[in-house]
């Protein structure tokens, strides 16, 4: 299917077709051409500290097991029995040397090798050479504790893929004075009846905050914690600490002053600031505490105090997983404060994330009736977007710069086979 004309860009207009959210056919193609062909985030290394530890998740819609082997390396196995396809491991996480399929009890080692089929005598001797192992995902690499995998072996090394966004990942991870960021074992999950790309767009959308999160801002204003007027002013101000960025490969960034809308404010914790200064020097410490929402195409967000993973289920159904983080080397007081702020805005009974999810559901209902041709506009700030040497683009924090970057890359991935409209000579959207 040629989908290249479903993302339209001219000098000052940018829009995407509602089919991107409503078409099961496009969803299937996304699973193959995006989730099946590019680096996808799976888990954080702190979720698998010891050999034998594993978690289960998905690459797109394909169930996988992420497991730490005896030599401490990480393997990603398709969680699909070589016998008749059943999901072999049904637990979310655990510790195991072997996995036993619940259907006919074939047993696999945690590196994917078939150890034994049940009632072995039903198979001939040559059975051993039939290669009935769990398939291994060919490419698995980590960066700063973040585990990525790619189903296609023909992909650039992860460090090359991340080269434009690395400096921001480093700053995010260096919030831990000891260099050990870890995630909570427990995950907070939102399942919503909407397309996965609504979450992709939202975490670096600096436009909606004044409106969708107005109720929370009013509450902070009433309690005297924050003034609504100054919040709106600082949001609207054009300045070095209020901008959005879009990168080649579809990554995005929203950067704003610390402490905005009740988020963690490190200036209230001088000892923590001193620790960062001692560990990284004064200039770098200042950079590290800047509040950033970082998006790594297609499914990872690094927020101030949590990792957010997008898992598509169907064209109109998705899961968002939220993993709060703990900063190694920081005082308990700092980690507790971060968690309290997190719960207040992003938790299940919060004022922030829940409002966003409601908007995704609402937008899905706008896209659903695709017998009316609909286009969704993402032109905000295109006329003033600045293109840098390295292919990144920058605009005001309320501009739709990151969303456009993501959809440019979406088009690159989805049209690669057709010769790719909009692909530059590196095969990357810019």
Residues that bind ligand FES (CB under 6 A): 81, 83-84, 86, 101, 103-104, 106
Distance CA(291)–CA(260), nearest Å, equals 8
Given ligand FES, Fe ion, none, residue 106, with its beta carbon under 5 to 8 Å by kind, binds: ligand FES
Distance CA(407)–CA(429), nearest Å, equals 9
- Collapsed DSSP state (helix, strand, coil) of residue 163: coil
Pick 79 or 392: Cβ nearer ligand FES: 79
> In terms of Cα–Cα distance, which of 53, 96, 103, 61 is closest to 78?
61
Given ligand FES, Fe ion, none, residue 103, with its beta carbon under 5 to 8 Å by kind, binds: ligand FES
Least CB distance to ligand FES at residue 135 (A): 14
Pick 102 or 427: Cβ nearer ligand FES: 102
Residue 33 is given by DSSP the state I
Given ligand FES, Fe ion, none, residue 42, with its beta carbon under 5 to 8 Å by kind, binds: none
Token pair in block for residue 207:
């436009």
Least CB distance to ligand FES at residue 281 (A): 55
- Please say whether the dihedral angle defined by the alpha carbons of residues 391, 396, 397 and 401, taken in this order, is positive or negative: negative
Pick 201 or 356: Cβ nearer Fe ion: 356
Least CB distance to ligand FES at residue 108 (A): 9
Pick 83 or 284: Cβ nearer ligand FES: 83
Given Fe ion, ligand FES, none, residue 356, with its beta carbon under 5 to 8 Å by kind, binds: Fe ion
Residue 362 is given by DSSP the state H
Pick 115 or 369: Cβ nearer ligand FES: 115
Which residue is listed with tokens 């979720």? 47
Give CA 323 to chain center in angstroms.
11
Q: Measuring CA to CA, how many Å separate 208 from each of 140, 144, 294, 384, 398? A: 36, 31, 17, 19, 8
Give residues in contact with Fe ion (CB under 5 A). Answer: 356
Given Fe ion, ligand FES, none, residue 172, with its beta carbon under 5 to 8 Å by kind, binds: none
Pick 273 or 308: Cβ nearer Fe ion: 308
Which residue is listed with tokens 């969708």? 212
Asked if residue 188 lies in contact with residue 322, where contact means CB atoms within 8 angstroms, the answer is yes
Least CB distance to ligand FES at residue 95 (A): 21
Least CB distance to ligand FES at residue 151 (A): 21
Pick 119 or 160: Cβ nearer ligand FES: 119
End-to-end Cα spacing for the chain: 23
E strand or H helix at 93: strand 93-95
User: Could you give the dihedral angle defined by the CA atoms of residues 293, 203, 208 and 394, in that order, rounded to the nearest 10 degrees?
Assistant: 50
Given ligand FES, Fe ion, none, residue 290, with its beta carbon under 5 to 8 Å by kind, binds: none
Least CB distance to Fe ion at residue 259 (A): 16
Given ligand FES, Fe ion, none, residue 83, with its beta carbon under 5 to 8 Å by kind, binds: ligand FES
Distance CA(171)–CA(288), nearest Å, equals 5
Pick 139 or 197: Cβ nearer Fe ion: 197
Distance CA(177)–CA(415), nearest Å, equals 43
Least CB distance to ligand FES at residue 111 (A): 17
Least CB distance to Fe ion at residue 147 (A): 27
Pick 352 or 395: Cβ nearer Fe ion: 352
> In terms of Cα–Cα distance, which of 404, 20, 424, 5 is closest to 195?
20
Least CB distance to ligand FES at residue 82 (A): 8
Distance CA(396)–CA(384), nearest Å, equals 9
- Collapsed DSSP state (helix, strand, coil) of residue 74: strand
């Amino acid at each position: 299917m040629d989908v290249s004309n479903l993302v339209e860009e001219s000098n000052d207009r940018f829009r995407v077709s509602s089919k991107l959210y409503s078409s099961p056919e496009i969803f299937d193609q996304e699973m193959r051409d995006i989730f099946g062909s590019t680096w996808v985030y799976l888990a954080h290394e702190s979720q698998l500290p010891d050999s034998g530890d594993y978690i289960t998740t998905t690459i797109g819609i394909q169930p996988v097991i992420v497991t730490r082997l005896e030599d401490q390396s990480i393997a990603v196995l398709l969680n699909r029995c070589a016998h008749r396809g059943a999901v072999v491991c049904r637990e979310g996480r655990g510790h195991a040397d072997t996995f036993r399929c619940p259907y006919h009890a074939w047993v696999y080692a945690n590196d994917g090798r078939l150890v034994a089929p049940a009632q072995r005598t039903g198979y001939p001797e040559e059975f051993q050479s039939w290669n009935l192992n769990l398939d291994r995902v060919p490419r698995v690499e980590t960066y700063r504790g973040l585990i990525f995998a790619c189903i296609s072996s023909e992909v650039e090394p992860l460090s090359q893929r991340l080269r434009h966004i690395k400096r921001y990942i480093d700053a995010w991870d260096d919030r831990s004075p000891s260099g050990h960021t870890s995630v909570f074992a427990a995950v907070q999950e939102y399942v919503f009846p909407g397309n996965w790309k609504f979450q992709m767009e939202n975490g670096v959308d600096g436009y909606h905050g004044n409106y969708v999160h107005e109720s929370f801002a009013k509450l902070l204003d009433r309690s005297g914690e924050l003034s609504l007027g100054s919040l709106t002013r600082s949001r609207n101000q054009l300045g070095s600490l209020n901008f959005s960025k879009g990168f080649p490969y579809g990554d995005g960034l929203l950067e704003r002053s610390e402490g905005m809308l009740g988020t963690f404010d490190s200036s209230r914790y001088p000892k923590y600031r001193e620790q960062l200064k001692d560990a990284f020097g004064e200039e770098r410490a200042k950079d590290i505490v800047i509040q950033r929402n970082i998006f790594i195409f297609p499914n990872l967000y690094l927020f101030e105090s949590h990792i957010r993973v997008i898992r598509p289920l169907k064209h109109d159904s998705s899961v968002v997983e939220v993993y709060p983080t703990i900063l190694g080397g920081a005082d308990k007081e700092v980690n507790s404060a971060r968690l309290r702020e997190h719960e207040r805005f992003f938790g299940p009974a919060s004022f922030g994330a829940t409002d966003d999810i409601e908007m995704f559901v609402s937008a899905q209902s706008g896209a659903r009736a695709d017998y009316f041709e609909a286009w969704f506009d993402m032109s905000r700030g295109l006329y003033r977007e600045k293109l840098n040497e390295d292919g990144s683009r920058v605009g005001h924090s309320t501009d739709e710069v990151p969303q456009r970057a993501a959809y440019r890359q979406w088009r690159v991935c989805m049209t690669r086979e057709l010769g790719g409209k909009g692909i530059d000579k590196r095969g990357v959207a810019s």
